[in-house]
Structure 1
Amino acid sequence: MTTIDRDTGGGTARPALRIRPGTAADAPALLDMLDGAVAWMNARGNTQQWGTVPYSQTNGGTERVERYTTVNQPFVAELDGVPVGAVVLDTGPNPQMPIAPAAEPERYVRLLITDRRRAGLGIGSALLAHAAQETRRAGVDLMRVDCWAGGGGELVAYYERNGFTRAETFLSGSWPGQVLVQRVGAGAGAGADGSAADGSAADGRTQG
């Protein structure tokens, strides 16, 4: 478990962010955040990234989140005991996406999601820093993520601000994606503070 005491920069302390391992009991909270992200994107004219149907109502959406919280390695961020974000790690990319496994051990960010009602608190960045810490703790140097590359590349830029560099691009049907990498060995930076511009969501089409 990680507890992060933060300052707003003006001398006012933000509530401490607690990051803990996730469990199957967190699935409803993750689904709620995913539904909120779809609504947030749609309200801003972004209907391409995740479509227009609430995530919990998409084909296989609920089952996918259940797998995230039982099969993969989830971590949940809390403020005052309330889940406000999550990151899910795996040992490789979604096998349904046109992304080749790495030629070395890796940790792959399969999902990064934050509560849009808590935007601007640096929750996504804190979760990515925690993911890097967990990757390093496992003795693994490589961490990768993929995300939607449309919309002017705002989400790609967000990951770059958090210590990732661009690798290959891909298309899943007509959906443009970008793979990014980060080396998390000794001396690696923890990433910038901030919240994602497009819903703090990786594994863009969340197909697996």
Structure 2
Amino acid sequence: MAQASFKFRPATLAANDDSWFVEAWDSTLPYLASIGSTSQWRYIPSQLPGAVDKVKKLIADSDISAAKYPVSSPDILKNGQPPLDWTKAYVASVEISKEDVPNALRDKYLSTEGDTVTIPVGAMVLQATSPQYTRTVIPEQDEREPFVYLVFLMTDHRAGGLAKGSGSALLTIAKQEVTKLGLARLCGDCWRGNGRKLVGYYDGQGLKAIGDFDVPKSEDEVWEGAVTEWRAA
């Protein structure tokens, strides 16, 4: 089966994307275990009210931002920086024949009408501020070199091969958002454990590591992170 092309749309509460985000996030745990990255995320997101609330707020903020800033352009910049309340969430999906629906999703999609279905396979959230836990490396926003921050990127592992390449495709959309705003810098962060494999993935996508940070999880455990950065040519 040839790789289907991706379609992109804003993530919205009206489409119940917050529920799908959490389901897809849950699907990453078996995958992380399979590649030796269990320490990246040990808890099932759907069972953590904080994680569920976080996802819902991200998409709610994107809904609000879409109404307030309907077009990404330099016109919305304030003193050369994106408004601190600017948030943009995306869903990547594929349209496929029902016969190609992965087994893990068949119960969800085979009961729908028609011969084809549109399946979300990847998600991304961009914001104008960095997370608090990264502030030892990067400020909330940078007056000299403003940035867009990638706060959430994932693929739905239930979709199997249909999701392959969706992360890279979403990162291309993120870079386009940066240039639409008249900026030249996309930043983000990721786990740096397990031999910095995830850091290497982002490096391959053009986001280079610019500094490491640690988030205390308990008296004797930390979450190891790295801030990454892409700069427009």
Q: 2:94 aligns to what?
A: 79
8 Å CA contact retained: 2:190, 2:227: yes
The answer on whether the counterparts of 1:31 and 1:62 sit within 8 Å (CA) in structure 2 is yes
Aligned-partner Cα distance in 2 for 1:172–1:147: 12
- Give structure 1 regions of 4+ aligned residues with deviation exceeding 6 angstroms: none
* SS in structure 2 at match of 1:171: strand
| Distance in 2 between residues matched to 1:118 and 1:128, nearest whole Å | 19
1:169 shift after superposition: 0.6
Work out the CA distance in 2 between the residues paired with 1:22 and 1:108: 17
> For each residue in 1:169-205, what CA deviation from the matched residue of structure 2 results, as whole angstroms up to 9, or x when unmatched?
1111111111111012xxx4xxxxxxxxxxxxxxxxx
Question: Is contact 2:123–2:154 with CA below 8 Å preserved after alignment?
Answer: yes
d(CA) in 2 for partners of 1:37 and 1:68?
Answer: 19
Cα distance in 1, alignment partners of residues 229 and 18 from structure 2: 27
Structure 1 residue 180 and structure 2 residue 180: aligned?
no
Aligned to 1:65: 55
> 1:180 is paired with a residue of what secondary structure?
strand
Where does residue 115 of structure 2 map in the other structure? none
CA distance in 1, matches of 2:181, 2:9: 16
Contact 1:98 1:171 in 2 (8 A): no
TM-score between the two structures when normalised by the length of structure 2? 0.69
> Residues 44 and 158 (structure 1 numbering): CA distance in 2 closer, same or farther, change over 3 Å?
closer
Residue of structure 2 equivalent to 1:8? none
SS in 2 for 1:167: strand
Higher helix share: 2
Q: Does 1:46 align with 2:88?
A: no
Q: Work out whether residues 37 and 193 of structure 2, in 8 Å CA contact, stay in contact via their aligned partners in 1.
A: no
Residues 181, 131 of structure 1: alpha-carbon distance in 2 compared, 3 angstrom cutoff: same
Aligned pairs for 1:23-172 within 5 A: 23-24=12-13, 25-51=16-42, 53-71=43-61, 72-80=87-95, 81-99=118-136, 100-101=138-139, 102-103=141-142, 104-116=145-157, 117-119=159-161, 121-172=164-215
CA distance in 2, matches of 1:180, 1:49: 17
Deviation at residue 110 of structure 1 after TM alignment = 0.2
Gaps of 5+ in 2: 62-86, 96-117, 217-221
Match of 1:197 in 2: none
Letter in 2 for 1:38: L
Name the counterpart of 1:194.
none
User: Structure 1 residue 39: deviation in Å?
Assistant: 2.7
Q: SS of the counterpart of 1:62?
A: helix
- Secondary structure of 2:225 counterpart: strand
Shift in alpha-carbon separation, 1:111–1:54, aligned structure 2, 3 A: same
Q: How many residues align?
A: 173
Point out the structure with max Rg over C-alpha: 2
5+ residue gaps, structure 1, are: 1-11, 189-208
Cα deviation, 1:123-168, whole Å, max 9, x if unaligned, reads 1000001110011111121100100000111100000000111101
Query: How much identity, in percent, do the aligned residues show?
Result: 32
